[in-house]
């Protein structure tokens, strides 16, 4: 069953306790007059509820807008037993155990068959006692069409539990190859498809399982068919053996090397890092020299424990100068990941403008302590008179520092030379990348939301704001184009509320 979480747009007027009179039935012909359905909006949202109500009415069912004495079936989605009972008590003033409360899969089954189906196995509550949600084949939960699963990642609760790694890994490789070739459209198509499949609560085992899913175009479908039939995708296999892809994959793994530099090196005939280091004609930037110098450390994964150690080092340093500062670990680690390639931090100082100096003080302190191996400080270019960016992938304008620091660790011995007879040098630290971002406190909620990710989640969140709400969102602010005002927010929850979305926890944004 899908787990879409849209906003609960309950009318602002105060509901009266007790039963509400039935709303007039639409002009659709009622074929099953002995059944009266009420659909609970909680965890479903107004848009999806309206879609389901209209669909059921077109199929000949009577669906009331309000809970009334005549209602025979209450339908809910993704609500636990205590949640639905509490909701009915608070918002409707009724004892839910007296009703026939069914899971949304009952309604979907009715839509498939074109008429009522046996309801007993779909009960959420039986005689006041809890009942488990029925187990259905995945296609049963997708049968009502493309509207079942939102096209926007910000309306899909996506955890790290991925049932379709074999497909999403393939899509990520193809997307990366298209990114190297600057084929933006195809790259985005594969990333959107991967995002949808990561959300699914089941493993795809047959081609019919993807019927009705958004963003599954012909190219994507072809890759899925190949994997289902052959166990692998010939297209992915060809990419992995492609010299252009392999070279770009290697070059971009170096800190400070992007697509333009990779293209330049590739055109020069370079294929390995040894060739890069040995080419006397190359003028490497400071960042690239640091990336090559500490390459082995930087390409190894950073563990959650290492990220937390780096967090403690940063906090101790920041709090020397600003005891009230907030230092937050963001990025993939905030979303629940156990490993990453770098560590992102957001810093702000409530009630002051001290944040403008904090980064300079941290850098000076780390220099004296010998912690800093490399840094690139970028000052803020934020202009508060400008509206949020219209681009979904736009960068923010905060003061930030991209750094490589020494992280103390258990004693590790590394050879100076590859020759096994070489003497060994004791190395008690590991070089790791940290990104430090400083923002004004009034923009903290927007910055935290933006720097938490994931990339596809943020892209779709901004796209949703633009296309569905006529708003503009970036890491600095949220602007309502209709009202022509900036909407303030002290937390991520408030931003979701402004957008009319149910709040998703950071670990539910792994799109």
| Beta strand extents in 207-363 (DSSP E only) | 302-303, 326-329, 339-340, 343-348
Which CATH number is 504's domain given?
Answer: 3.30.210.10
Task: Please state, in angstroms and rounded to a whole number, the distance separating the CA atoms of residues 220 and 223.
Answer: 5
Residues 382 and 272 in one domain: no
pLDDT score of 328 more than 90: yes
Is residue 8 assigned to a domain? no
Same domain, 342 and 382: yes
> Which of 2, 335, 1 has its CA nearest to residue 150?
2
Position 25 scores a pLDDT of 53
| 22 part of a folded domain | no
CA-based nearest residue to 488, from 479, 504, 502 = 479
The yes-or-no verdict on residue 130 having pLDDT over 60 is no
Does residue 454 sit in the same domain as residue 402? Answer: no
Q: What is the mean pLDDT of the chain?
A: 86
pLDDT digits (tens, 9 = 90+) for 420-440: 444 445 789 999 999 999 999
On whether both 397 and 345 belong to a single domain, the answer is yes
- 70 pLDDT tier (thresholds 50, 70, 90): confident
Q: How many domains does the chain have?
A: 5
Q: What does the pLDDT read at residue 56? A: 86
Task: Write the CA distances from 468 to 51, 150, 511, integer angstroms.
Answer: 16, 12, 19
Cα–Cα distance between 266 and 285 in angstroms, integer?
17
**Structural tokens at position 467:** 């296309």
> If pLDDT is split at 50, 70 and 90, which confidence band does 158 have?
very high
Count of other CB atoms within 10 angstroms of residue 413: 9
Interacting residues of 199 by C-beta distance below 8 A, sequence separation 6+? 2, 3, 149, 153, 156, 157, 158, 511
Q: What is the pLDDT of residue 6?
A: 30
Are 286 and 293 in contact by the 8 Å Cβ rule? The answer is no
Please say which residue of 96, 119, 148 terminates a domain: 148
Do 233 and 250 fall within a single domain?
no
List the strands of the sheet with 326-329, edge to edge: 326-329, 343-348, 424-438, 399-415, 372-378
> Looking at the annotation, which residues are catalytic?
342, 344, 435
CATH number reported for the structural domain that contains residue 260 in this entry? 1.10.150.20
Do both 116 and 163 map to the same domain? no
- Check if the beta carbon of residue 96 is closer than 8 Å to that of residue 85: yes
What 3-state DSSP class applies to 406? strand
- 161 lies in the same domain as 138: no
Arithmetic mean of pLDDT, 142-170:
83
Dist. CA 383–CA 225, nearest whole Å: 49
- Of 271, 293, 315, the residue that ends a domain is 293
- What is the total residue count of the chain? 511
Output the pLDDT for position 390: 83
Provide the annotated binding site.
Answer: 342, 344, 435
Domain extent, residue 184, equals 154-240
Q: How far apart are CA 72 and CA 99, in angstroms?
A: 7
pLDDT tens profile 9-46 = 223 333 333 333 334 455 688 999 889 999 988 877 77
**Where residue 332 sits, what CATH number does that domain have?**
3.30.460.10
- Whether 1 maps to a domain, the answer reads no
Q: Does residue 491 form part of some domain?
A: yes
CATH number for the domain harbouring residue 232: 1.10.150.110
Residue 445 scores a pLDDT above 50:
yes
341 and 418 co-located in one domain: yes
**Would you state the pLDDT for residue 80?**
73
- Give the CATH number of the domain where residue 105 resides: 3.40.50.10190
Q: Establish if 281 belongs to a structural domain.
A: yes
Residue 150 has a pLDDT of: 92
Using left for φ > 0, alpha for ψ between -120 and 50, and beta otherwise, residue 470 falls in: left
Q: Are residues 220 and 187 in the same domain?
A: yes
Give the per-residue pLDDT at 42.
Answer: 82
Asked if 361 and 235 sit in the same domain, the reply is no
Cα distance between residue 118 and residue 250, in whole Å: 58
**Residue 19 belongs to a domain:** no
The answer to whether the CB of 487 falls within 8 A of the CB of 465 is no
pLDDT at 332: 98
Please say whether the beta carbons of 451 and 344 come within 8 A.
yes
* Mean pLDDT in residue range 451-461: 97
In a domain, 142, yes or no: yes
Same domain assignment for residues 138 and 171: no
Of 67-81, 178-192, 333-347, 495-509, the range with the lowest mean pLDDT is 67-81
pLDDT of 135 higher than 70:
no
Q: 385 and 318 in one domain?
A: yes
Asked which of 440, 465, 487 is the last residue of a domain, the reply is 440
pLDDT at position 269 over 80: yes
Residue 10 within a domain: no
Q: What pLDDT is stored for residue 410 in this prediction?
A: 58
pLDDT in tens, 347-385: 999 887 777 899 999 999 999 999 999 999 999 999 888
Half-sphere exposure in the Cβ direction for 263 (13 Å, CA): 7
Q: Which of 186, 189, 226 is nearest to 204 (CA)?
A: 226
Provide the annotated binding site for Mg(2+).
Answer: 342, 344, 435
């Amino acid at each position: 069953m899908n787990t879409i979480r849209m906003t609960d747009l309950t009318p602002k007027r105060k509901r009266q306790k007790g039963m509400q009179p039935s709303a007039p039935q639409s002009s659709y012909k009622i074929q099953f007059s002995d059944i009266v359905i009420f659909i609970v909006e909680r965890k479903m949202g107004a848009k999806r509820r309206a879609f389901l109500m209209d669909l059921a009415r077109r199929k000949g069912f009577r669906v009331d807008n309000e809970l009334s004495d005549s209602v025979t079936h209450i339908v809910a989605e993704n609500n636990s037993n205590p949640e639905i009972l509490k909701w009915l008590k608070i918002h409707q003033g009724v004892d839910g155990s007296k009703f026939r409360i069914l899971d949304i899969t009952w309604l979907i089954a009715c839509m498939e068959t074109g008429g009522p189906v046996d309801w007993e196995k779909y009960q959420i509550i039986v005689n006041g006692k809890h009942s488990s949600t029925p187990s259905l084949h995945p296609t049963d939960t997708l049968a009502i069409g493309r509207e079942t699963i939102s096209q926007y990642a910000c309306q899909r609760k996506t955890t790290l539990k991925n049932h379709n790694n074999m497909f999403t890994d393939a899509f990520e490789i193809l997307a990366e190859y298209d990114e190297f070739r600057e084929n933006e459209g195809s790259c985005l198509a594969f990333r959107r498809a991967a995002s949808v499949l990561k959300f699914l609560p089941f493993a795809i085992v047959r081609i019919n399982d993807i019927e009705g899913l958004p963003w599954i175009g012909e190219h994507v479908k072809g890759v899925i068919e190949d994997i289902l039939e052959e166990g692998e995708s010939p297209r992915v296999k060809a990419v992995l053996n492609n010299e252009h892809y392999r070279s770009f994959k290697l070059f971009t793994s170096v800190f400070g090397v992007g697509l333009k530099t990779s293209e330049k090196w590739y055109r020069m005939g370079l294929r390995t890092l040894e060739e890069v280091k040995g080419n006397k004609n190359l003028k490497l930037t400071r960042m690239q020299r640091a990336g090559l110098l500490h390459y082995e450390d930087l390409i190894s994964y950073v563990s959650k424990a290492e990220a937390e150690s780096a967090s403690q080092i940063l906090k101790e340093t920041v709090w020397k100068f600003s005891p009230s500062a907030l230092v937050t670990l963001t990025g993939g680690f905030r979303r629940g990941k156990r490993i990453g390639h770098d560590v992102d931090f957001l810093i702000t100082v409530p009630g002051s403008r001290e944040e403008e100096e904090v980064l300079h003080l941290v850098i000076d302190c780390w220099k004296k302590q010998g912690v800093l191996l490399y840094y690139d400080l970028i000052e803020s270019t934020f202009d508060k008179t400008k509206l949020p960016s219209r681009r979904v992938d736009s960068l923010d304008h905060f003061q930030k520092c991209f750094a490589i620091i020494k992280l103390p660790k258990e004693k590790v011995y590394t050879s100076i030379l590859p020759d096994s007879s070489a003497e060994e040098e004791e190395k008690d630290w590991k070089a790791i990348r940290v990104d430090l971002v400083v923002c004004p406190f009034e923009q903290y909620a927007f910055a935290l939301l933006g720097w938490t990710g994931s990339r596809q989640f943020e892209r779709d969140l901004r796209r949703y704001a633009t296309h569905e709400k006529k708003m503009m969102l970036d890491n600095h602010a949220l602007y309502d184009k209709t009202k022509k005002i900036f909407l303030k927010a002290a937390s991520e929850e408030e931003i979701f509320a402004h957008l009319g979305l149910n709040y998703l926890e950071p670990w539910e944004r792994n799109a």
